[in-house]
Structure 1
Amino acid sequence: MKLDILAIGAHPDDVELGCGGTIAKMVYENKKVGILDLTEGELGTRGTAITRKSESNEASKLLSISYRENLKFRDGFFINDNNHQIELIKIIRKYKPDIVLANSISDRHPDHGKAAKLVYDACFLSGLIKIQTNYNGISQEKWRPKHIFNYIQWNEEKPDFIIDISHFLDKKVEACMAYKTQFYDPNSLEPNTPITSLNFKKSIIYRAENLGRIIGCDAGEGFTSQRWIGLKDFENFV
């Protein structure tokens, strides 16, 4: 299966929080979208790798994505080295995405920045013909995505562009809340964290609404690009 978009997150729930509305919109527009989680989020204060897997499955159903996989790198301790790059290259070459969405380049959680760099490097290396890989015993051809964009997470980054998700904000929130162990639950007996507060839950909506305000719509999701974005014309501007 060739994917139009592959969204990659260091932890299950990163993608839903960062670009869940955009994914819902792209699926609605008949794009083939997949999610790749690098770790199982096993170091999360609340829940376990098992509960996180169940929650990510539910979020995937809500978003109606074509594919989801977890590379099971070590949460908190994966690094940007040859072994991790090769495993990621295999996925990139398997699904041949035109667009890759990745974690924030710099963020509160150190895994986010590490993941962003790892994804960027793997996407480049995936396009080199002399790097040979195989998946399930089948030799793979080189593939380099056309674009890599980083979704905004905890930090208030200045976006290079904003996607209108006005009709998909409810779906984004629903997908995020599928992670019941991770977010606000007044009945939970587990320790509190910055993302389990009621304020954080509300921020999923008010941050999207603020980005929407900037571009004159009800809700938006912001992205940054490590490369300049080239346009052939102005047809897609509103």
Structure 2
Amino acid sequence: MSKTILAVLAHPDDAEFLCAGVMVRLQREHGWALHIATMTPGDCGSTEYPPEEIARIRRSEGNAAAKAIGATYHCLEERDLRVVYGEAVLEKTVRLINKVQADVVLTHSPDDYHLDHEQTSKIVRAATFAAPIPNFLHGRHDHPPIAHIPHLYYCDPLEGKDAFGRPIPPSFRVDISSAIDAKSKMLECHESQRAWLRSHHGVDNLVESMRHWSAAQAEGRGVAFAEGFRQHLGHSYPQGNLLGELLGVV
């Protein structure tokens, strides 16, 4: 029976930067089903379009990027800079985890440059714990609860540092050299973000920035490109490193 990996991140294009490489490898090498979800449709990510129009554009780009690797795209329809841990968004996230029957869930680092990322991390952490609990939704289930808490991994924070500039090193890295071209093609789908990131973030080339970061994570490890992760190992969560076992570590 095919297993499923679900990435729940804040905005369209986050998965392409942070974790799409391991997703591509799991699908190619092990036949896993792939799902990419964003908390928001990126409604603030433009100086050219109003919120609903850029949200429509970015949903379309997120869907195209996911399709490029055989993944399914979902949007939880929160709003940029308004992602806040709460009952409604927690329920939506639990419903999604149960809908796709996720075996592995990826999300943002608990410490990151963007509060939408940090809040998403907290929501997903709570949702992975709640998803197997039959009473959590008080009988209002759209899909059966998953059988057990899934493996939960935190992606690298952007630029590998917290809000104070202190490094947050990954616990392990995975070689994604065979998937880097697929990641690049995914990012190329996010055409609307090139002008926005140049204006707001000072990032001039989306794809080259991703490749540079992936190369930096691989430096000195005998591979060309890598992605870094930390595993949630708190009480009741799976303790074995399933990603490492399936894909190897560098």
| Alignment TM-score > 0.5, same fold | yes
What is the distance in 2 between the residues matched to 1:88 and 1:116?
Answer: 11
What is the distance in 2 between the residues matched to 1:118 and 1:143?
Answer: 20
What is the distance in 2 between the residues matched to 1:86 and 1:24?
Answer: 28
Partner of 1:12: 12
Instruction: Write out aligned runs for 1:38-187 (5 A).
Output: 38-46=39-47, 48-65=54-71, 67-132=72-137, 133-135=139-141, 138=142, 140-156=144-160, 157-183=168-194
TM-score (norm 1): 0.85
* Preserved contact between residue 198 and residue 204 of structure 2 (Cα < 8 Å): no
1:131-182 CA-partner distances (Å, limit 9, x unpaired)? 13545xx463354443110111413130111111111111111211211111
Consecutive unaligned residues of structure 2, counting only runs of 5 or more, are 161-167
- Per the alignment, do residues 53 and 231 of structure 1 end up closer, same or farther by CA in structure 2, a change over 3 Å counting? closer
Name the structure where helix makes up a greater proportion of residues.
2
Partner of 2:211: 205
Instruction: Indicate whether 1:230 and 2:246 are aligned.
Output: no
What is the distance in 2 between the residues matched to 1:234 and 1:174?
Answer: 27
1:73-130 CA-partner distances (Å, limit 9, x unpaired)? 1221132111111111111111111100001211111100100010001111112232
* Preserved contact between residue 162 and residue 215 of structure 1 (Cα < 8 Å): no
RMSD: 2.8
Task: Report how far residue 195 of structure 1 moved.
Answer: 5.5
Partner of 2:226: 220
What is the distance in 1 between the residues matched to 2:140 and 2:93?
Answer: 12
What is the distance in 2 between the residues matched to 1:191 and 1:167?
Answer: 28
Q: Percent identity?
A: 25
1:181-233 CA-partner distances (Å, limit 9, x unpaired)? 112x5xx8x971216424x6433112211222343211101112232753699
What is the distance in 1 between the residues matched to 2:149 and 2:91?
Answer: 16
Partner of 2:199: 192
Instruction: Indicate whether 1:25 and 2:25 are aligned.
Output: yes
Select between 148-157 and 30-39 the one with higher mean Cα deviation.
148-157
Letter of the 1:43 partner, please give it: C
- Per the alignment, do residues 139 and 237 of structure 1 end up closer, same or farther by CA in structure 2, a change over 3 Å counting? closer
